[in-house]
Structure 1
Amino acid sequence: MNKAELIDQIADASGLSKADSKKALDAFISATTGELKKGGRISLVGFGSFAVSERSARKGRNPKTGKEINIPAKKVVKFKAGADLADSVN
């Protein structure tokens, strides 16, 4: 499912117009991004939680040449599914 299809699903389920559904989705994405940039955590009970995790620097290997390379440390976003979501998928 892409963003346009998600907007259609939101509009159908909520009774909102597609334009309002797009605004709501964009607002959710913006709020989530802003909180994660600050290092915060987003918890949606039953659905899951988004959090920022630090990945430390490490050594890797270039698969093409076999040469050892340094991979710098970085922050990554992690999502952990909630119990309700996990149960509905299984």
Structure 2
Amino acid sequence: MTGNDLAETLAAAHGLTKTDARKYVDTVFAAIGDAAAKGNEVSLNGFGKFSTKKTPEREGRNPATGEAMTIKAATKVSFKPAKALKDKVNG
């Protein structure tokens, strides 16, 4: 499912134009992205939780050459599904 598919579903369910629905979908995703960029957790009841995790700098290997290299520290976004979502997916 794509963002356009979500917008079409939202438009059909609430009598919106597809353009307006797409704006709402984009706004929701932008808000989630902004919160993650600030290091805030986003919890959507019944769906799941988006959070960030810092990973330290570490040594790794180039898989093509086997040469040692340094992998930079980074912040990763993770998603943990809620029990309701897990139950829905698993029947």
The residue aligned with 2:71 is 71
The CA distance in 2 between the partners of 1:89 and 1:77, in whole Å, is 22
Cα distance in structure 2, aligned partners of 1:43 and 1:56: 25
TM-score normalised over the length of structure 1: 0.91
Equivalence map 1:34-53=2 (5 Å):
34-53=34-53
Residue 15 of structure 1 corresponds to which residue in structure 2? 15
Distance 2:13 2:81 in 1: 22
Runs of 4+ more than 3 Å apart: none
Measured on the aligned residues, the alpha-carbon RMSD in Å equals 1.1
Q: Which residue of structure 2 lines up, in the alignment, with residue 32 of structure 1?
A: 32
Q: Quick one: percent identity of the two aligned structures?
A: 39
- Residues paired across the two proteins, number: 90
Q: Secondary structure, in 3 states, of the residue corresponding to 2:69?
A: strand
Secondary structure of the residue aligned to 2:7 is: helix
What secondary structure sits across from 2:24 in the alignment? helix
C-alpha distance in 1, partners of 2:14/2:52?
A: 30
Instruction: State the partner residue of 2:56.
Output: 56
Report the more deviating stretch, 11-20 or 46-55: 11-20
CA distance in 2, matches of 1:46, 1:2: 20
CA distance in 2, matches of 1:11, 1:53: 35
Q: Could you tell me the TM-score, scaled by structure 2's length? A: 0.91
